[in-house]
Homo-oligomer: A and B are copies of this chain.
Amino acid sequence: MTTPFSYLTHLECSHCRQNFEANRVQTFCPACQTPLLACYDWHAAAACLHRDQFQTRRKGMWRWHELLPVQDEAHIVTLGEGDTPILPLPRLGEDFGLERLYLKDESLNPTGTFKARGLSAAVSRARELGVRRLTIPTAGNAGGALAAYAARAGIPAQVFMPADTPSANIEESRIVGAQVTLVEGLISDAARLSVEAARQNGALDVSTFKEPYRMEGKKTMGYEIAEAFGWHLPDVIVYPAGGGMGLAAIWKAFGELRRLGWLEDEHLPRMVAVQASGCAPVVAAFEKRAATCEFWQNAQTHASGLRVPKSFGDRLILQTLYESNGLAVAVSDEEIQQAQQQLARREGVFAAPEGAANVAALHRLRERNWLTPAESVLLLNTGTGLKYLR
């Protein structure tokens, strides 16, 4: 029996569980207005695949192709994303009294951020399904990533971003040939224009959570973490949540690994969402134990990727926090800036402000005694600080 290139079977609404056909272009559940999740034949996958076989394949996220949505290898659009390093942080750990502190450095991706994973998956699948044009609303880095992968695929792309997005995001999108529209307002305003452009031009809008395959790319962070930790997951994962898809995607990955029987034990990490105090809808909802977020008015933060007033996947983010016994924490821009310097000076990593926010959050978590010294704690740095220089 030959094993398929992908075990993808169908899509499922994350709320009402209605099934959707995977072999045509899908967006989100029209009834619930919630994201669709990609489903796989886990029974067959568990029978045919072994967790160790992925290790010897060529590096990059596509070595997990059986658990990703693309059906035909020829459709993969890659720039070498994935398999970013996991670095021990002994000196920063000392500062916080944490013996096992780690950083997964997603800045070592194409376009310098974790957004590469999601857009590699989305653009690959879009090409496979015959999509001729792509649009995206973005707080910055996702736009740069879409633009790059669309160029690589030869598919025209339109990027909508706030006019005050870091200029590196504007430049990187333009140089690869995307049509960039600067929007007075926030990503929520850009989102409306992206939907409208998609409708007018027959394009696919690959907005966070409104397209089901970006999440599949992002979940490979979870696979890599499990593999790197010997299939015994860390105690705590700290993640900066703007759109929050990475957080939900890593959680999805852990669920999948459990179904596959690849984890050494039943131990799952407590997931922490970090937001900026000037835009903290997830923190506000979490503190009320709400199922969804309210739109955050007058969102403001220099960590542009965290300037997302309401995520389309808010329900999934909050579920992740509740199910994992996690937490949501807000930190100020001043704390982020100090933390960025602390991480840089102590460990040599020049992180994006979103990534540095995790270090700021560590202060809070230690103050509250929410972390104990011997727990293993993994921070995600979502991107390079180079993109935020003035």
Contact = CB atoms under 8 A, between A and B. Distances in A.
Interface of A: 55-56, 58-60, 78-80, 83-87, 91, 105, 107-112, 147-154, 167-168, 171-172, 175-177, 228, 340-341, 344-350, 384-387, 389
Contacts of A111: 350
Contacts of A107: 110
A348 B168 contact: no
Contacts of A348: 79, 110, 147-153, 176
A145 B185 CA distance: 37
A80 B91 contact: no
Contacts of A175: 340-341, 344-345, 350, 385
Given A80-B105, A83-B59, A105-B80, A345 B389 contact: no
A150 to B, nearest CB: 7
B85 A60 contact: yes
A59 B107 CA distance: 16
A80 to B, nearest CB: 3
- Determine chain A's interface SS by DSSP, over half rule: helix
Contact of A347 (B108, B152, B345): B152
A197 to B, nearest CB: 20
B59 A56 contact: no
Nearest to A108: B108
Contacts of A105: 79-80, 110
A232 B204 CA distance: 42
A109 B105 CA distance: 11
Contact of A345 (B79, B80, B151): B151
B108 A110 contact: yes
B85 A350 contact: no
9 contacts: A55-B56, A79-B85, A80-B85, A108-B108, A112-B112, A112-B386, A149-B348, A151-B346, A175-B345
A368 B83 CA distance: 40
Nearest to A349: B79
Contacts of A350: 111, 148, 172, 175-176
Contacts of A154: 91
Nearest to A145: B348
A126 to B, nearest CB: 14
Contacts of A384: 112, 386
Given A108-B109, A349-B79, A151 B344 contact: yes
A386 B385 contact: no
Given A151-B348, A175-B350, 7 more contacts: A79-B87, A79-B349, A112-B384, A148-B348, A152-B349, A176-B350, A386-B387
A87 B83 contact: no
Nearest to A147: B348
A111 B112 CA distance: 10
Contacts of A78: 85, 87
B83 A172 contact: no
Contact of A349 (B85, B148, B349): B148
B59 A167 contact: no
Contacts of A150: 348
A34 to B, nearest CB: 31
A309 B91 CA distance: 39
Contacts of A108: 80, 108-110
B344 A168 contact: no
